[in-house]
Structure 1
Amino acid sequence: MLKEIRAALLLGLAVWVYQATNPPPPKICGTPGGPLITAPRIKLRDGRYLAYKEHGVSRETAKYKIIYVHGFASMRHHTMSVAKLSAEVVEELGLLFVSFDRPGYGESDPHPKRTPESIALDIEELADHLEFGSRFYVMGFSMGGQVIWGCLKYIPHRLAGATLIAPVVNYWWPGFPANLSTEAYYLQLPQDQWTLRVAHHAPWLTYWWNSQKWFPASAVAARKPEVFSRQDLELLSTVTDGRMYMPQTMQQGEFETLHRDMMIGFGKWEFDPMDLENPFPNNEGSVHLWHGDEDKTVPVSLQRYIAQRLPWINYHEISGSGHMFPYILEICEAIIKAPLLEKK
Structure 2
Amino acid sequence: MDEVNGVVPPYAAGVGVGVGFGGNFRKVSREEDWRFHATEFAKGVAELSVEFGKGCRDVVRQSILRDDSFVVRHFRGPCKAACTKLKFLNEYLPEDRDPMHSWSVVSVVFAVVIAVLIVTSESDTTTQLIQKLHIYPPNATRILLPDGRHLAYHEQGVSFDSARFTLIAPHSFLSSRLAGIPGIKGSLLQEFGVRLITYDLPGFGESDPHPQRNLESSAMDMLYLSYAVHITDKFWVVGYSCGSIHTWAALKYIPDRIAGAFMVAPLVNPYEASMNKVETRRTWDKWTTKRKFMYFLARKFPVALPYFYKRSFLSGNLDRIDKWLSMSLGTRDKGIIEEVKYQEFWKRDLGESVRQGNVKPFVEEAVLQVSNWGFSISDLNVQKKHQGKGVFFWLKSLYKRPQQELTGFLGPIHIWQGMEDRVVPPSMSEYVHRILPGAMVHKLLYEGHFTYFYFCEECHRQMLTTVFGNPQGPLTVEVDLIPPVKDKDDVDEKNEEMEEEVEVSYSDVTFI
For Structure 1 versus Structure 2, the TM-score category normalised by the shorter chain is 0.7 to 0.9
Q: Report percent identity of matched pairs.
A: 28
- Residues 42-121 of structure 1 correspond to what in structure 2 (within 5 A)? 42-81=143-182, 83-85=184-186, 87=187, 89-121=188-220
1-structure distance, mates of 2:279, 2:408: 32
How much does 1:253 deviate? 2.4
How much does 1:189 deviate? 0.8
How much does 1:37 deviate? 3.9
Instruction: Give the SS at the match of 1:198.
Output: helix
Mean Cα deviation higher: 122-131 or 242-251: 242-251
Cα displacement string for residues 158-207 of structure 1 (whole angstroms, at most 9, x for unaligned residues)? 01111121112211112211442144223211111111011112233332
Amino acid in the other structure paired with 2:421:
D
What residue is the counterpart of 1:270 in the other structure? 374
Amino acid in the other structure paired with 1:330:
E
Amino acid in the other structure paired with 1:321:
E
Instruction: Give the SS at the match of 2:196.
Output: strand
**Higher relative CO (CA 8 A, sep ≥ 6), structure 1 or 2?**
1
2-structure distance, mates of 1:173, 1:322: 23
What residue is the counterpart of 1:329 in the other structure? 457
2-structure distance, mates of 1:282, 1:330: 33
The unaligned stretches of length 5 or more in structure 2 are 1-134, 313-319, 384-405, 473-512
How much does 1:273 deviate? 1.1
What residue is the counterpart of 2:228 in the other structure? 129
Amino acid in the other structure paired with 2:171:
H
Q: CA RMSD in A?
A: 2.8
8 Å CA contact retained: 1:81, 1:329: no
Q: TM-score, normalised by structure 1?
A: 0.80
8 Å CA contact retained: 2:291, 2:325: no
Q: Does 1:184 align with 2:286?
A: no
2:324 to 213, 222, 239: 222
8 Å CA contact retained: 2:252, 2:408: no
How much does 1:314 deviate? 0.9
Q: Does 1:338 align with 2:466?
A: yes
How much does 1:341 deviate? 2.1
Cα displacement string for residues 205-262 of structure 1 (whole angstroms, at most 9, x for unaligned residues)? 332454479xxxx9856156x5222111222224131122322211112523432211
2-structure distance, mates of 1:177, 1:264: 21
Q: TM-score, normalised by structure 2?
A: 0.55
Instruction: Give the SS at the match of 1:297.
Output: coil
Instruction: Give the SS at the match of 1:326.
Output: coil
- Residues 5-44 of structure 1 correspond to what in structure 2 (within 5 A)? 37-44=138-145
Q: 1:283 to 1:79 in 2, by over 3 A?
A: closer
Instruction: Give the SS at the match of 1:104.
Output: coil
How much does 1:83 deviate? 3.4
1-structure distance, mates of 2:304, 2:349: 28
1-structure distance, mates of 2:322, 2:250: 25
Cα displacement string for residues 123-180 of structure 1 (whole angstroms, at most 9, x for unaligned residues)? 1110011111131111121122221110111011101111121112211112211442
2-structure distance, mates of 1:300, 1:154: 26
Q: Does 1:290 align with 2:394?
A: no
8 Å CA contact retained: 2:168, 2:237: yes
What residue is the counterpart of 1:22 in the other structure? none
Q: 1:171 to 1:272 in 2, by over 3 A?
A: same
1-structure distance, mates of 2:409, 2:253: 19
What residue is the counterpart of 1:309 in the other structure? 435
2-structure distance, mates of 1:120, 1:282: 15
8 Å CA contact retained: 2:175, 2:352: no
Amino acid in the other structure paired with 2:224:
E
Cα displacement string for residues 24-80 of structure 1 (whole angstroms, at most 9, x for unaligned residues)? xxxxxxxxxx99642110111111111001101111111111111211211111123
Instruction: Give the SS at the match of 2:453.
Output: helix
Structure 1 moving runs of 4+ over 6 Å: 279-284
What residue is the counterpart of 1:250 in the other structure? 354
2:270 to 164, 167, 171: 171
Amino acid in the other structure paired with 1:78:
A
